[in-house]
Amino acid sequence: MSDHLTLAQVDRDGAIAETLDRISPDSRAGFLRKGAILGGGIISGGAVLSALFADAAEAATENDIAIANFALTLEYLEAEFYTEAVAMGAIRNARVRRFAQVVAAHERTHVAALKGMLGARAVAKPSFNFQGTTESEAKFKATAQVLEDTGVMAYAGQAPRVDANAVLKAALAIHTVEARHASWIRHINGAPPAPRAFDQPKTMQQILAAVAGTRFISSGPAMTATGSSPSFTG
């Protein structure tokens, strides 16, 4: 798979449009109420996670909330992708499997932290269809490389747009971990871990278009019907 993401604006069932609606900023100004406090101890060097994200929750502006929800959407996708890949059992190579397990745990942690920061303002997890990319080791490796490089470009694009310092610190702490992930899977794939001296940012719209092109976000099955009487045997 090339480094370049398909930018085809394929929007299955309007799911991407919904995602965009959910994460675009409200017109009203205001500050987020304090989000949930999280447990600590998962930053290298022993720094306390709860302080990082609690501060962010208190200081975030509406713009920051939109950015955090954008990040959360990407993290939902990555967390589900890696968790499913581990569960699908199609990864035979021990090095690839270790990568998947470690990164799955990281992305789940990112989801938890962003959800905790956003509290009631967090967007819901979308439904996903990974189109077989979690069910083949080769497809997994290629897709993981694209997803991680995308994550790096996404955070780089948003960091200068963040208002609150506390939110920025959280974003920077995740950004470089995504870059480590990207380098790691590239190394496993035999691709240059650091292909250039300066990584390029991409805008929110560019990233969402790229995500839409993967067709991973779907609206999920409609399981409830209203209004018509059951025709079960009774």
- Which residues between 84 and 123 bind other proteins (CB under 8 A)? 84, 87-90, 102-103, 105-106, 109-110, 113
Least distance from other proteins to the Cβ atom of residue 88, Å: 7
What tokens does 21 get? 């609606």
23, 69 Cβ separation under 8 angstroms: yes
Q: Which of 25-33, 63-71, 114-122, 215-223 is the region at the interface with other proteins (rule: CB under 8 A)?
A: 215-223
Task: Give the CA distances from residue 74 to residues 32, 53, 139, 212, 224, in Å, rounded to whole numbers and listed in that order.
Answer: 21, 18, 19, 11, 27
Which residues, including other chains, have CB under 8 Å from residue 117's CB and lie 6 or more apart? 35, 53, 56, 57, 60, 68, 167, 170
- Of 115, 76, 98, give the one whose Cα is nearest residue 181: 98
Considering the rule CB under 8 A, would residue 2 count as an interface residue with other proteins? Answer: no
Binding mask 142-171 for other proteins (x = CB under 8 A): ----------x--xx--xxx---x--xxx-
Of the candidates 18, 27, 20, the one whose C-alpha atom is nearest the C-alpha of residue 63 is: 27
Q: Does 1 bind other proteins (CB under 8 A)?
A: no
Q: Is 192 in the site for other proteins (CB under 8 A)?
A: yes
* Residue 47 binds other proteins (CB under 8 A): yes
Binder among 70, 76, 82, 130 for other proteins (CB under 8 A): 130
Q: Are 185 and 148 within 8 A, CB to CB?
A: yes
Q: Check residue 161 and report its DSSP letter.
A: G
Shortest distance in whole angstroms from residue 9 CB to other proteins = 20
Instruction: Say how many Å lie between the first and final Cα of the chain, rounded.
Output: 53
Is residue 199 at the binding interface for other proteins, with CB under 8 A as the rule?
yes
- How far apart are alpha carbons 107 and 117 in whole angstroms? 15
> Which CB, 32 or 152, lies closer to other proteins?
152
CB of 229 to other proteins, least distance (A): 4
Number of residues engaging other proteins in binding (CB under 8 A): 78
From the list 21, 221, 219, 213, the residue with the least C-alpha distance to 125 is 219
For other proteins, which residue of 45, 94, 120, 190 counts as binding (CB under 8 A)?
45
Rule CB under 8 A: say whether 50 interacts with other proteins.
Answer: no
Q: Tell me which stretch binds other proteins (CB under 8 A): 3-11, 18-26, 115-123, 224-232.
A: 224-232
DSSP 93: -
The residue range among 16-24, 28-36, 115-123, 175-183 that interacts with other proteins, by the rule CB under 8 A, is 175-183
